[in-house]
Structure 1
């Protein structure tokens, strides 16, 4: 396991960093051990869209893809490349505005027989998530480090403290939580993500369909008033 801490990822806040684009518009970065980029795209059902030389070209392809639609498309681009890490080669998959690394069904499939780690931000709001999957099982996930879930929510507590995250409360104000999350991902994968790595990699690009939204069939109204009287009503679509 590496000794990475939040201090190793201070570069993500540089105004000249291409990663700043992801923090602004939203990103998901996923690392999967022993799965090639083409195999990752096969598992998630992505349609190949060629190759981009470097992150700048991938960002340009992302913008051109969005410009093809009058409204927000029901798909997104993911760029993936191979990088050495702990125990094997890993695939690093990066998306801007996508959610590949946050979908339980996909992450369970990608991590079957191996390990997958992802972290993300939805941009301006922001909401930031971390996920660690092992053998198809979600082991630890959190938005706020003190509010963890998963099958082993406390297993990373010691490592979290070492990288600068506080699993029992707020971090020190000098600690950049996002930088610390990148360090946590490195501790689990052995992959050091650098500005140069992202900038210079050859990205295999795939188009990933958005997850279909299940059509709702009914709504439930459950209200308790100040006197303790409860109103509970379920209405079907045809009743509204």
Structure 2
């Protein structure tokens, strides 16, 4: 296991970093052990878009895809092979998509192996981390102190080492996103650097958006400034009756 910490990933905040764009509009970065880039794109149902060199070219292709439609029904993902713990891994990167957050993809990709992903949805304060092993979600969190999965506490010691606090808030000088990059490196042995992303040869694919799921109810759960909680679950047929 590497000794990476949040301090090793301060470069993600640089204005010249490819992650300046990803943190602005959203990204997912997914690492899969022993699965080729072509196989990863096949599993997620991506339509091949060829090869591009460098993160700037990947960003340009992403922007071009957005401009092709007023309401895009897909997003661009790029993948390449990178050395890591116990052999080769595939690093998949997308901007504004959700490849690394879809459970059915991550379960399939992690069958017999390991998958680690982290993401941001851009301007909104939602940042997720997922660790899958052999098709099973082991640990996931948005806030480090609120973890779920089959083994939510297994990474606690490593989280503390990289700068995350599994029991509360981090120290004010710790960059939580940089610490998540370090946590991913600890689990994969893959050191992500600015030069790696800037110079990689990406096999690209157009990943279709998932169809909207049918819903049966909505939950309203609000706690006001005084600590009073309002919790209401409204069934779909109740709303239908109200409309008629």
- CA distance, structure 1, for counterparts of residue 134 and residue 233 of structure 2: 44
Unaligned runs of 5+ in 2: 222-227
SS in 1 for 2:93: strand
Shift of 1:215: 2.9
* Paired position in structure 2 for 1:206: 205
SS in 1 for 2:159: helix
- CA distance, structure 1, for counterparts of residue 112 and residue 11 of structure 2: 33
* Paired position in structure 2 for 1:47: 47
Aligned length: 233
Sort the Cα spacing of 1:68 and 1:155 in 2 relative to 1 into closer, same or farther, 3 A: same
CA contact (8 A) 2:218 2:233 kept: no
* Paired position in structure 2 for 1:122: 121
Mean Cα displacement is larger for which, 14-23 or 75-84?
Answer: 14-23
- For residues 142-181 of structure 1, the aligned pairs below 5 Å read 142-181=141-180
* Paired position in structure 2 for 1:235: 237
TM-score, length-normalised on structure 1?
0.92
CA contact (8 A) 2:10 2:178 kept: yes
- CA distance, structure 2, for counterparts of residue 66 and residue 232 of structure 1: 36
- CA distance, structure 2, for counterparts of residue 161 and residue 13 of structure 1: 21
CA contact (8 A) 2:30 2:116 kept: yes
Sort the Cα spacing of 1:18 and 1:153 in 2 relative to 1 into closer, same or farther, 3 A: same
- CA distance, structure 1, for counterparts of residue 233 and residue 103 of structure 2: 34
CA contact (8 A) 1:82 1:92 kept: yes
- CA distance, structure 2, for counterparts of residue 159 and residue 221 of structure 1: 35
Unaligned runs of 5+ in 1: none
- For residues 1-240 of structure 1, the aligned pairs below 5 Å read 1-71=1-71, 73-216=72-215, 218-219=216-217, 235=237, 239=241, 240=243
- CA distance, structure 2, for counterparts of residue 125 and residue 174 of structure 1: 21
TM-score, length-normalised on structure 2?
0.91
CA contact (8 A) 2:217 2:233 kept: no
